[in-house]
C-alpha cells in the first residue's frame, strides 16, 4: 500500500495541511448528526430529521465541489483543486447514508423502497442523482483517469452539472411548505452555472471580478423573480407585491438577498486577495 496516496498528502506526496483540514471538516456534520441521534436530541422523529440532515449536507457538498472552479480563479488559489475530489466523494458517502436512513425508516423493506423510488417522482429524481454521484466517485481515482483518458474522463465528470440540477429539483419537490432553502439553493446554482458559462466564453482561467459581481446581482434578482412567479403560480399571490417584498429587507432576509450576499462574498474575498496579497497569486493549471 502506498501511504503517499493517503488523502492528507498532496499529489507530490507531501503532507498537505489544506487537505487534512478539509478531510477533518467533512466528517464533522455526519459525526454531529450521529451524536445528536445517539443523545436523542433530534426531536420526535429522529430518523426523519437525520434523513434531512444528510440530504442537506449532500446538496451543500455538491455545491461546495462546484464552487471550487470559480473560487480558485477568483481567489487565485490553484491548490483548492486538490480538495475537489475529496469533497465529491464525501457527497457520495453522505447521499448513501441518506438513502440508508430512508431504507431504515421503511423498516428495511427493500420492496417498498424500490417501489417508492419508481412511483414517487422526487425519489426517482433523487435516485438518478445518487447513481450519478456513485459513478463519479468510483471513476474519480487516478487509475480511472488513466483508463478513460483525460478528455473522456472530463466529459464524464461534466454530469455533475446534471446531478446539481436533479439535486435542486429533488430538494424543491420534497419540501412541502417551506421553500426558503430550496429557493436559495436554486439561486446559488444559477450563479455557479453562470460563472462557468462566462469562464468558458472568456477562456480557461479567466473570470474577472466584475463579471462575478454582475452575476451575483443577476442571480439575486432572478431568485426574487422566480420566487414571486412561484407564489403567483402555486397560490395566486400578487406577483408585484411578492416581488417587492423579495427585493426589500422589510420582511427579513429573503432568499434573493441570501443568494446575492453569499455569492458576493466570493467577490469580496477575491478583491481582498488581489488588493492585499497580489504577489501570492500563482499560475493556474487547467482544471
Ligand atoms: C444526490 C441525491 C440526493 C440529494 C442531493 C438529496 C437531498 C435532499 C435534501 C436536501 C432533502 C431535504 C432536507 C431538508 O428538508 O432539510 C432531502 C429529503 C429527502 N430525501 Fe433526498 N436527496 C438525494 C437522494 C435521495 C434518494 C436516493 C432518496 C431515496 C430513495 C431520497 C429520499 C429523501 C427523503 C425521503 C427525504 C425527506 C422527505 C420528507 O421529509 O418528506 N433522497 N433530500
As a whole number of angstroms, the distance between CA 46 and CA 154 comes to 40
Which atom of ligand 1 is found nearest the CA of 56?
10
The C-alpha atoms of residue 122 and residue 171 are separated, in whole angstroms, by 8
Strands (E), 121-277: none
More confident residue, 145 or 5: 145
Average pLDDT of the residues of the chain: 93
Task: For the chain, give the percent of residues with pLDDT over 90.
Answer: 82
Q: What pLDDT band is residue 6 in, cutting at 50, 70 and 90?
A: confident
**Largest separation between any pair of C-alpha atoms in the chain:** 64
Q: Is the pLDDT of residue 37 over 60?
A: yes
What local confidence, expressed as pLDDT, does residue 20 receive? 96
Q: In angstroms, rounded to a whole number, what is the distance separating the alpha carbons of residues 161 and 123?
A: 19
For residues 215-220, give the mean pLDDT: 98
Enumerate residues lining ligand 1, CB below 6 A: 48, 51-52, 55-56, 58-59, 95, 98-99, 102, 117, 123, 126-127, 129-130, 133, 167, 170-171, 174-175
Q: Using alpha carbons, select from 137, 138, 61 the residue that is nearest to residue 94.
A: 61
Determine the residue of 174, 179, 186 to mutate for testing ligand 1's pocket, defined as the one with the most ligand atoms within 8 A of the Cβ atom. Answer: 174
Residue nearest to atom 24 of ligand 1 (CA): 126
From CA 98, how far away is CA 45, in angstroms rounded?
15
Q: What pLDDT, on a 0 to 100 scale, did the predictor assign at position 8?
A: 85
State the average pLDDT over residues 59-77: 95
Distance between CA 118 and CA 125 in Å, rounded?
10
For 39-68, what is the mean pLDDT? 97
Q: How many angstroms separate the alpha carbon of residue 45 from the centre of ligand 1?
A: 15
Residue 284 has what pLDDT? Answer: 52
Q: What is residue 5's predicted lDDT score, i.e. its pLDDT?
A: 77
Q: What is the mean pLDDT of residues 248-275?
A: 93
How many angstroms separate the alpha carbon of residue 59 from the centre of ligand 1? Answer: 9
Return d(Cα 87, Cα 67) in angstroms, integer. 11
Q: What is d(CA 13, CA 99) in angstroms, rounded to the nearest whole number? A: 35
For position 162, what pLDDT does the model report?
98
Q: Which of 86, 75, 70 is nearest to 11 (CA)?
A: 86
Of 176 and 108, which is predicted with more confidence?
A: 108
Q: Name the percent of the chain in helix, strand, coil, to the closest 5.
A: 80, 0, 20
DSSP string, 102-147: HHHHTTT-HHHHHHHHHH-HHHHHHHHHHHHHHHHHHTTSHHHHHH
C-alpha cell at 125: 429524481
Cell of 49: 430529521
Rounded distance from Cα 51 to ligand 1 centre (Å): 7
Does 251 have pLDDT greater than 90? no
Q: Quote the ligand 1 centre to 92 CA distance (angstroms).
A: 13
Does the pLDDT at position 204 exceed 70? no
3-state secondary structure of 254: coil
Question: What confidence tier does 279 reach under pLDDT thresholds 50, 70, 90?
Answer: low
Count other C-beta atoms under 10 Å from residue 217's C-beta.
Answer: 14
Q: What is the DSSP letter of 107?
A: T
Confidence class for position 108, pLDDT limits 50, 70, 90 = very high
Range 158-177 average pLDDT: 93
Q: What pLDDT score was predicted for residue 285?
A: 52
Average pLDDT over residues 106-112: 97
Confidence (pLDDT) at 117: 98
17 and 25 Cβ atoms separated by less than 8 Å: no
Average pLDDT over residues 197-210: 88
* pTM (whole model) above 0.85: yes
**What confidence category does residue 283 fall into, taking pLDDT thresholds of 50, 70 and 90?**
low
Residues in the chain: 287
Q: How confident is the model at residue 250 (pLDDT cuts 50, 70, 90)?
A: confident
Distance CA 118, CA 66 (A): 29
Query: For residue 17, what are the CA distances in angstroms to 79, 170, 213, 270, 284?
Result: 11, 35, 30, 22, 20
Rounded mean pLDDT, 85-95? 98
| Ligand 1 geometric centre to CA of 183 (Å) | 15
Q: What are residue 15's phi and psi, to 5 degrees?
A: -60, 130
Quick one: DSSP state of residue 12? T
Record the cell numbers describing residue 215, joined without a space.
452575476
Q: Closest Cα to atom 39, ligand 1: which residue? A: 174
- The answer to whether residues 62 and 170 touch, using CB atoms and an 8 Å cutoff, is no
* Phi, psi (deg, nearest 5) at residue 132: -60, -45
Amino acid at each position: 500500500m502506498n501511504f503517499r496516496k493517503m488523502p492528507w498528502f498532496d499529489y507530490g506526496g507531501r503532507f498537505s495541511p489544506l487537505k487534512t483540514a478539509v478531510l477533518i471538516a467533512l466528517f464533522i456534520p455526519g459525526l454531529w448528526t450521529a451524536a445528536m441521534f445517539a443523545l436523542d436530541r433530534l426531536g420526535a422523529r429522529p430518523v426523519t430529521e437525520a434523513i434531512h440532515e444528510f440530504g442537506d449536507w449532500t446538496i451543500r457538498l455538491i455545491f461546495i465541489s462546484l464552487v471550487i472552479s470559480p473560487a480558485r480563479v477568483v481567489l487565485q488559489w490553484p491548490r483548492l483543486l486538490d480538495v475537489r475530489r475529496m469533497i465529491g466523494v464525501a457527497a457520495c458517502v453522505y447521499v448513501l447514508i441518506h438513502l440508508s436512513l430512508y431504507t431504515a425508516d421503511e423498516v428495511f423493506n427493500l420492496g417498498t423502497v424500490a417501489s417508492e423510488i419508481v412511483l414517487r417522482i422526487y425519489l426517482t429524481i433523487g435516485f438518478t442523482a445518487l447513481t450519478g454521484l456513485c459513478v463519479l466517485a468510483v471513476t474519480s481515482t487516478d487509475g480511472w483517469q488513466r483508463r478513460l483518458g483525460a478528455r473522456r474522463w472530463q466529459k464524464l465528470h461534466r454530469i455533475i452539472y446534471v446531478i446539481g440540477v436533479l439535486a435542486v429539483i429533488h430538494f424543491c419537490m420534497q419540501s412541502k411548505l417551506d421553500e426558503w432553502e430550496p429557493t436559495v439553493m436554486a439561486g446559488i446554482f444559477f450563479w455557479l452555472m453562470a460563472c462557468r458559462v462566462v469562464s468558458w466564453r472568456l477562456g480557461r482561467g479567466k473570470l474577472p471580478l466584475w463579471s462575478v459581481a454582475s452575476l451575483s446581482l443577476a442571480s439575486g434578482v432572478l431568485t426574487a423573480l422566480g420566487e414571486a412567479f412561484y407564489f403567483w403560480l402555486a397560490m395566486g399571490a400578487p406577483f408585484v407585491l411578492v416581488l417587492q417584498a423579495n427585493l426589500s429587507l422589510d420582511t427579513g432576509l429573503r432568499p434573493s438577498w441570501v443568494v446575492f450576499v453569499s455569492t458576493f462574498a466570493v467577490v469580496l474575498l477575491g478583491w481582498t486577495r488581489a488588493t492585499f496579497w497580489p504577489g501570492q497569486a500563482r499560475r493556474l493549471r487547467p482544471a
